[in-house]
Amino acid sequence: MHEQVKDYYGKTLQSSDDLQSNACCTDTNMPAHLKAILAKIHPQVSSRYYGCGLIAPEALEGMHILDLGSGSGRDCYVLSALVGPKGSVTGVDMTPEQLSVAREYIDYHRQQFGFDQSNVAFFEGYIEKLDALPLGENQFDIIISNCVINLSPDKEAVLKQAHRLLKSGGEMYFSDVYSDRRVPTHLTNDAQLHGECLSGALYWNDFINLAKGCGFADPRLVEDRPLTIDNPEIESKLQGIRFFSATYRLFKINDLEPACEDYGQSVIYNGGLPYSKDAFLLDKHHIIKTGEVFPVCGNTYRMLSETRFKPFFQFNGNTVEHYGLFEGCGSALPFDTGRTGAETSTNSCC
Ligand SMILES: C[S@@+](CC[C@H](N)C(=O)[O-])C[C@H]1O[C@@H](n2cnc3c(N)ncnc32)[C@H](O)[C@@H]1O
């Protein structure tokens, strides 16, 4: 499986124009500060970008970030600018052709961002075997990945390795492709469907359970969109399975509870994050307006108070008194389907 994927990204595809579907494409909706950074990325790096989401969480200055499946390095270089000279970005990829493009422009981007020394490094390796690379346990504040884990033959190993490398209070923040049901093996074995980041996708509920089993007790969905595929030949092979691009954040926090429990706690966001003056988006169901008293479950409280977000919040309450399950905790298909109806949970807290 690894060799087939290496061939697809190293030889079959020369640029994003060669993609056969829109699975490995990112929506063009982009905040202004990111557009300005993207304008500084070398065109050859951008032309070999195959990501499916926007990987730029908040509060990045000084952070140490690992990118799983960094490809030609576009996300690494954008994050290099955002973490600044005191932070660092490490990319890992198994495809030599992609790595050589990424490495060729290290100094170009150092100059673009005005740094004395580059804060970016790339390693050749497998994301299932990160222990074979010189990366220390509990070393990273954030692990990102953009449209890669669907390609992995051992997704459990990837999540376990990521959990090991994250600091306590750190998070995995990543975009990937998910399906609305389990994908049959004959489709997973189809080299084109797999290479296009479709048939290796996890059924969303299997992903949630896998993440929990790897130590990420409360996965949070940040954003999602249905993939339209836009290729009749590929669509006909997919037998009506629906695919979604989704960004999840998985916090490494010990002993998060298996459900959202209500202790009557609340938080107030102080508006102090540079690109989030009016509101802070923790996930799709927690858009916390500046200055507003925002009721939260016990897990959300800890995601804000035991992470890099702590300085930006005021915290009210404790866990002495328990009031039951936090209202609206849902388990239906979490993605927006573009259809109306009861299947999409709009009021769940997570
Ligand atoms: C769809 S591309 C995305 C690349 C990059 N994240 C981007 O946004 O442009 C998938 C990348 O993941 C890499 N990849 C896939 N499976 C991998 C694995 N098991 N270990 C390391 N790299 C992997 C491929 O070599 C390829 O560069």
CB hemisphere CA count around 56 (13 angstroms)? 25
Strands 166-179 and 202-203 come out as parallel
User: Ligand 1 center to residue 145 CA distance, Å?
Assistant: 9
pLDDT one-digit tens code per residue, 112-123: 999 999 999 999
Rounded to an integer, what distance in angstroms lies between the CA atom of residue 53 and that of residue 18? Answer: 18
User: Ligand 1 center to residue 50 CA distance, Å?
Assistant: 8
Domains and CATH numbers, the chain: 2-251 (3.40.50.150), 259-350 (3.40.5.100)
Q: Is the dihedral of CA 205, 207, 210, 211 positive or negative?
A: negative
Q: Which of 104-108, 325-329, 343-347 reaches the highest mean pLDDT?
A: 104-108
**pLDDT band per the 50, 70, 90 thresholds, residue 346:** very low
Give the residues surrounding ligand 1 with Cβ less than 6 Å away: 2, 5-6, 9, 24, 49-51, 69-71, 74-75, 93-95, 98, 126-128, 146-148, 151-152, 197
- Specify the ligand 1 atom closest to the Cα of 125: 21
The answer, yes or no, to whether residue 341 has pLDDT greater than 50, is no
Average pLDDT over residues 138-142: 97
What is the distance, to the nearest Å, from the Cα of residue 162 to the centroid of all Cα atoms in its chain?
12
Rounded to an integer, what distance in angstroms lies between the CA atom of residue 161 and that of residue 149? Answer: 12
Of 101, 39, 40, 44, give the one whose Cα is nearest residue 70: 101
Pocket probe for ligand 1: among 151, 158, 197, 227, the residue whose CB has the most ligand atoms within 8 Å is 151
Look at residue 330 in the predicted model and tell me its pLDDT. 60
Look at residue 10 in the predicted model and tell me its pLDDT. 86
Q: What are the DSSP calls for 169-204, one per residue?
A: EEEEEEEEEEESSPPPHHHHT-HHHHHTTSTTPEEH
- Specify the ligand 1 atom closest to the Cα of 145: 6
User: Ligand 1 center to residue 270 CA distance, Å?
Assistant: 37
Average pLDDT over residues 74-94: 97
Residue 34, token pair as written in the block = 């990111």
User: Ligand 1 center to residue 335 CA distance, Å?
Assistant: 24
Q: What SS3 class is residue 115?
A: coil
Residue 14, token pair as written in the block = 């020369």
Q: Provide the mean pLDDT of the chain.
A: 92
Look at residue 269 in the predicted model and tell me its pLDDT. 98
The answer, yes or no, to whether residue 350 has pLDDT greater than 80, is no
Comparison of pLDDT for 345 and 75, the residue scoring more: 75
Average pLDDT over residues 130-149: 96
Residue 302 host element (H or E): helix 298-305
Average pLDDT over residues 94-102: 96
Pocket probe for ligand 1: among 70, 93, 131, 193, the residue whose CB has the most ligand atoms within 8 Å is 93
User: Ligand 1 center to residue 10 CA distance, Å?
Assistant: 10
The answer, yes or no, to whether residue 342 has pLDDT greater than 50, is no
In this structure, the residue with its CA closest to atom 10 of ligand 1 is: 148
Strands 64-68 and 88-93 come out as parallel
Q: What are the DSSP calls for 61-85, one per residue?
A: TT-EEEEET-TTSHHHHHHHHHH-T
As beta bridge partners, residue 249 has 173, 220
* Length in residues, the chain: 350
pLDDT one-digit tens code per residue, 323-339: 999 887 766 778 888 76
Interior/surface letters 264-297, b for 16+ CB within 10 angstroms, e for the rest: ebebbbeeebeebeebbebbbbbebebeeebbbb
Poorest-pLDDT segment among 4-18, 68-82, 163-177, 287-301: 4-18
In this structure, the residue with its CA closest to atom 4 of ligand 1 is: 71
Percent of the chain with pLDDT strictly greater than 90: 77
Interior/surface letters 34-50, b for 16+ CB within 10 angstroms, e for the rest: eeebeeebbeebbebbb
Q: Tokens 């970030």 label which residue?
A: 65
Residue 337 per-residue DSSP state = -
Of 117, 116, 30, 135, give the one whose Cα is nearest residue 75: 30
Report residue 164: phi and psi, to 5°: -65, -40
- Specify the ligand 1 atom closest to the Cα of 72: 9
